[in-house]
Amino acid sequence: MATFTWTPKYGAARKATPKVLISGFGDGYRQRAADGINNIDETWDLEFVNEDTTIDDIDDFLVARGGWESFDWTPPGEAVSKKWSCAEWGRTKTGSGVDSLNASFQREYDLWL
């Protein structure tokens, strides 16, 4: 299992979206239940600003995973790594030797070890 080790720029944004099953009944009564045991979708929107060679390494890492293979990464402020995938990222080349890369990491609950 590959491990993502680069540190994002300060201000990384986490988004959590619970998956909930809802059944509606008469008189506005509803029942709600978690949709599965891992029902919270978690994403991080990250930005990396660094020397172009370091951004090359990050880009190469994400390309090698192909958008489908998960990798280990420890989110900011957390002590334990989790499994993530990245199916979307973009890079800005400045020509000054310092580039940026924006990526969206999606939490995965793979069985792969």
Average pLDDT, the chain: 93
Say what the pLDDT of residue 111 is.
74
The one-letter code for the residue type at 102 is: N
- E-assigned strand segments in the chain: 13-18, 20-24, 30-34, 40-51, 71-73, 82-92, 98-107
**Token pair in block for residue 103:** 């990526």
Q: What is the pLDDT of residues 60-91, one digit of tens each?
A: 999 999 999 999 999 999 999 999 999 999 99
Q: What is the pLDDT of residues 22-49, one digit of tens each?
A: 999 988 899 999 999 999 999 999 999 9
Unique residue bearing structure tokens 């509803």: 30
Q: Where are the domains of the chain?
A: 13-107
pLDDT grade, residue 1 (50/70/90)? Answer: confident
